[in-house]
C-alpha cells in the first residue's frame, strides 16, 4: 500500500508537470519533441507496475528525469532559467542546462539498464555489468544524437531550439561525454543502494 502511494504520487506529479509545461511552451513543436520520452514512459510505467514493479530508487530517478525533460521542453534547453543562473554564477559562455540533460541521459538509463540486467539474470554483476551498462548508455546517447541529426535535416533552422547547440561545433561530442559521465557517476554512487533495493523487491515479489 505504501509503495502504491509513493509510485502513484510520482506518476501524478510527473503527469501534472507534463500537462503544465504543455499549456504555453516557448515552441510547441520543440516541446513535443523534448517531452516525447515522457509521453511514452508514463503509460508504460503505469501498465507494467503490477507485473514488473521497479525499485523506489528507479521510480524516483525516472521522475527527476521527467522533470528535466519537461522543463527543457517548456523553455527550450538554451533558455532554461537554471542554465542562465549557472552561467552567471560560474561565468560560462553559454547556457549549460543541455549538459545537465545529457548527464541525466546517462545517469538514469544506467540504473534502468542495471535493474533489467540484474533482475533478468542476464549478468551476475561485477565489472562486466558495469561495462555493459555503460555501453548501453552510450548507445542510447548515440541514438538520441542521430534523432537530433534527423531533426536538423528535416526541419533545417526550425530544429535549432530542439538541438540547443548554441553555436558549439562540439555539441554532439559533449553530449555523449556527459552521458558517459552520468552513467559512470550512477554506477559509482548508487550501485550498493540499488543492490539493496533489488534484494528487497525480490523478497516481496
pLDDT of residue 155: 67
Which domain covers residue 85, as residue numbers?
2-204
What is the tens place of the pLDDT at every residue in 65-113? Answer: 999 999 999 998 889 999 999 999 999 888 889 999 999 999 999 999 9
Instruction: For the beta carbon of residue 13, count every other beta carbon within 10 angstroms.
Output: 13
Determine whether 48 is exposed, middle or buried from the number of CB atoms within 10 Å of its CB (0-12, 13-18, 19+).
Answer: exposed
**Which helix (DSSP H) or strand (DSSP E) does residue 97 occupy?**
helix 97-119
pTM, entire model: 0.91
pLDDT of residue 74: 94
For the chain, what is the domain count? 1
pLDDT of residue 163: 54
pLDDT of residue 203: 77
Do the Cβ atoms of 32 and 81 come closer than 8 Å? Answer: no
> Could you give the CA distance from residue 137 to residue 182 in angstroms, rounded to a whole number?
9
Residue in 68, 60, 16, 10 with CA at minimum distance from that of residue 37: 68
> Could you give the CA distance from residue 110 to residue 19 in angstroms, rounded to a whole number?
27
Amino acid at each position: 500500500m505504501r509503495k502504491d502511494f509513493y509510485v502513484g504520487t510520482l506518476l501524478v506529479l510527473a503527469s501534472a508537470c507534463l500537462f503544465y509545461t504543455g499549456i504555453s511552451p516557448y515552441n510547441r513543436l520543440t516541446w513535443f519533441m523534448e517531452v516525447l520520452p515522457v509521453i511514452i514512459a508514463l503509460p508504460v510505467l503505469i501498465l507494467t507496475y503490477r507485473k514488473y514493479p521497479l525499485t523506489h530508487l528507479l521510480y524516483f530517478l525516472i521522475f527527476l528525469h521527467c522533470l528535466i525533460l519537461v522543463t527543457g521542453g517548456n523553455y527550450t534547453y538554451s533558455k532554461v532559467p537554471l542554465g542562465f543562473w549557472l552561467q552567471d554564477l560560474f561565468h560560462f559562455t553559454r547556457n549549460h542546462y543541455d549538459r545537465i540533460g545529457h548527464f541525466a541521459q546517462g545517469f538514469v538509463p544506467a540504473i534502468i539498464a542495471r535493474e533489467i540486467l540484474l533482475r533478468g539474470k542476464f549478468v551476475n554483476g561485477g565489472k562486466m555489468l558495469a561495462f555493459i551498462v555503460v555501453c548501453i548508455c552510450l548507445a542510447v546517447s548515440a541514438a538520441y544524437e542521430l534523432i537530433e541529426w534527423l531533426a536538423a535535416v528535416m526541419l533545417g533552422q526550425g530544429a535549432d531550439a530542439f538541438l540547443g547547440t548554441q553555436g558549439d561545433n562540439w555539441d554532439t561530442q559533449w553530449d555523449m561525454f556527459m552521458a558517459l559521465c552520468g552513467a559512470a557517476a550512477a554506477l559509482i554512487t548508487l550501485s550498493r543502494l540499488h543492490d539493496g533495493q533489488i534484494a528487497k523487491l525480490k523478497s516481496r515479489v
